[in-house]
Structure 1
């Protein structure tokens, strides 16, 4: 527990000021986090971090991750999606060049993972570009849901939520976390209404839905960790695991915020 607390304090002491600072410093941090997240996927797949498929994974992550302003070097008529599709073709060719030691299943997992990680962290930069208050709206939903679910689950949890995926999670904890997020983030929205497009009742509904989405994101990560038979996605955050362990929920919440017109 002591190690978890120390890691959290140090990480937040770096992350929170950069959130307020924004700009190039914040974007560089998020790009690095996204690339570390891709490294964690590669290690779970037991792929060398200097292999051809690893390089392709980093490049594909970067295509979806980087801000549009960083992609102005692309020739006229070539879009982000065009470049992504070209890299996907190279993934498929790798199955031929390696005589199927790198398989179609491997390619599918790394392509899907790179798109998921790259897009998730891209929307974190997009949220900060909107305003720091929008970014904290997303973060608070995830943090409060997670903390609320943990505390309520410990006190009242009896009915397992997804016993084959994450045995410690309960329906009571899940509902408690969502209610806590809806209440507390609702108060946050009330005091910062000028930074949000929609009315307070609609924002409360969105908070509820995004809280549920964040928990689903957490379950998704639990599912693929169980599939790969690993406890944590990585070790970069002592006591907390890897980047994907800490940001799995936010990578579901932020794209949905984009689809809802918030970012």
Structure 2
């Protein structure tokens, strides 16, 4: 527990100021986290970080995570989508050149992970670019839902939510966590006018949807950890696991904020 608390304090000391500063410093951190998260998947698949597939994956996740403004005025109409297609083509070509040491399933896993991780961090940076209140809206929903689910689940949780994927989660905890977020977040943001473009009812609806999306993100990451037989995605954050362990919910919540029009 001591290690977990110390890691959390150090991470917040670094993370929160960069959220406030935004811009290039936060972009560098965002890209670094995306690369580490991609590396965690490669590690689960027992792929060397200096292999062709790893290098393509690292480039791919950076390309997807970069903000749209990066591609303005690029020659030959290059943009993230074009480069991503080239990377997917090269991954497929690698299945031939590697003589089946790297197969179609491997290529598919890495391509999907590039989209999953890269898109999540892309919209994380975009949310912060919209203002600290916007990114904190998504992050607080995740944190409060998670804390509420833990407390309610510990108190009254009996019915398992997904026993084969995440045996400690319960329906009572899941519903309780979302209810706590739905009660706290819209009231907090309405009282302090932190997102003045939206009224209380809109914030209520957004919070409900994003709270559920965050929990699904948590289950998605638990699912592939169970598939690969690992407890944590990595060990870069002592006591907390890896980047995917800490950002699993946000990798779904931030793109969902874009779908809801909050990041437009």
Report the TM-score, using the length of structure 1 for normalisation.
0.97
Distance 1:76 1:39 in 2: 30
Question: How is 1:25-44 mapped onto 2 (pairs within 5 angstroms)?
Answer: 25-44=25-44
Matched, 1:9 2:9: yes
Change (3 A) 1:194 1:247: closer
How far has the Cα of 1:2 moved from its partner?
1.0
Question: How is 1:134-213 mapped onto 2 (pairs within 5 angstroms)?
Answer: 134-193=134-193, 195-213=195-213
Aligned to 2:215: 215
Aligned to 1:108: 108
SS of match in other structure, 1:238: coil
Alpha carbon RMSD of aligned pairs, Å? 1.2
How far has the Cα of 1:250 moved from its partner?
0.5
Distance 1:96 1:209 in 2: 43
How far has the Cα of 1:196 moved from its partner?
4.3
Aligned to 2:62: 62
Distance 1:89 1:229 in 2: 29
How far has the Cα of 1:184 moved from its partner?
1.3
Distance 2:66 2:56 in 1: 15
How far has the Cα of 1:76 moved from its partner?
3.4
Distance 2:3 2:187 in 1: 32
Report the TM-score, using the length of structure 2 for normalisation.
0.97
SS of match in other structure, 1:76: helix
Distance 1:77 1:157 in 2: 54
How far has the Cα of 1:149 moved from its partner?
0.4
Contact 2:190–2:199 (Cα < 8 Å) also in 1: no
Aligned to 2:49: 49
Distance 1:73 1:106 in 2: 34
Of stretches 249-258 and 72-81 in structure 1, the one that deviates more from structure 2 is 72-81
SS of match in other structure, 1:99: coil
Aligned residues: 263
SS of match in other structure, 1:195: coil
Of stretches 233-242 and 63-72 in structure 1, the one that deviates more from structure 2 is 63-72
Change (3 A) 1:120 1:198: same
Distance 1:24 1:82 in 2: 24
Distance 1:58 1:73 in 2: 24
Distance 1:248 1:121 in 2: 11
Contact 1:57–1:114 (Cα < 8 Å) also in 2: yes
Change (3 A) 1:85 1:123: same
Distance 2:79 2:250 in 1: 26
Q: Where in structure 1 are there 5+ consecutive unaligned residues?
A: none
Q: Where in structure 2 are there 5+ consecutive unaligned residues?
A: none
How far has the Cα of 1:245 moved from its partner?
0.2
